[in-house]
Amino acid sequence: DTAVSQTPKYLVTQMGNDKSIKCEQNLGHDTMYWYKQDSKKFLKIMFSYNNKELIINETVPNRFSPKSPDKAHLNLHINSLELGDSAVYFCASSQDSTSGSYEQYFGPGTRLTVT
Amino acid sequence: GDSVTQMEGPVTLSEEAFLTINCTYTATGYPSLFWYVQYPGEGLQLLLKATKADDKGSNKGFEATYRKETTSFHLEKGSVQVSDSAVYFCALSSGGYNKLIFGAGTRLAVHP
């Protein structure tokens, strides 16, 4: 059973389009995250939700809008895609957000290529 | 702000060699420290962690000790295998909400 799953695995699209990435976790966790990994493998947090409530919102263009319909799902919608949005996007989850010692479980990633 | 610095790669070793990947951090308070590993084409998975000073995390032959005095969390393994080839990320949990701050990653290539 996959703990954290993402769809799609690959996404190729043109500049200016709007696209969504979906994430689901079956671990019963309360907290979910989106990270962006650039071409040099550098990872940076974008957003986090705890029990459907936005708790972390880093400096991300407002073309990116996360949505959490329930605590097992966290989606990422991107409007007006730009070349610089090309990256691998990882979803992750953790038991909750109250302790910094909780492990985060990562999905397999979605490789977004904007042409 | 909080940050993590780890040695640049790639690190290339022969099988059974000793591995050290250096990691230092800057943080306010007392963060938890982590090593995550990313195998080719996969997501990250936790390798080990330490939550307070002088704690040693260990897993699959890898070890790292939380050194508050030197703000370091160096990863070591006594004898690497080809299957250890991957990118290794040092990270700390920053502030509230369990936010992870990652180092730049170190690619390890182990040859037979």
Burial status of residue A34 (CB atoms within 10 A of its CB: 0-12, 13-18, 19 or more): buried
- For A101, the closest of B45, B93, B101 (CB atoms) is B93
Contact B74, B23 (CB under 8 A): yes
Rounded to whole angstroms, the Cα distance separating B6 from B91 reads 10
Give residue-wise pLDDT tens across range B94-105: 777 888 999 999
Residue A55: which H helix or E strand, with range?
strand A53-57
Give residue-wise pLDDT tens across range B4-63: 999 888 999 999 999 999 999 999 888 999 999 999 988 999 999 999 999 999 999 999
Contact B88, B78 (CB under 8 A): no
Give residue-wise pLDDT tens across range A73-108: 999 999 999 999 999 999 999 988 777 778 999 999
Rounded to whole angstroms, the Cα distance separating A35 from B102 reads 11
Least Cα separation, residue A30 to chain B (angstroms): 11
Give the pLDDT of residue A47.
94
Give the pLDDT of residue B38.
95
Assign 3-state DSSP to chain A and report helix, strand, coil percentages, each to 5: 5, 55, 45
Give the pLDDT of residue B41.
87
Q: Does the pLDDT at position A25 exceed 80?
A: yes
Mean pLDDT value across chain A: 93
Nearest CA in chain B to A94: B98
Q: At residue B40, what is the residue type?
A: P
Give the pLDDT of residue B66.
97
Q: Does the pLDDT at position B76 exceed 70?
A: yes
Q: Does the pLDDT at position A1 exceed 70?
A: no
- For B42, the closest of A44, A92, A108 (CB atoms) is A108
Instruction: Out of A55-59, B35-39, B47-51, B89-93, pick the least confident.
Output: A55-59
Mean pLDDT for B76-84 is 97
Rounded to whole angstroms, the Cα distance separating A104 from A43 reads 14
Q: Which sign does the torsion angle of CA B57, B66, B81, A37 carry? A: positive
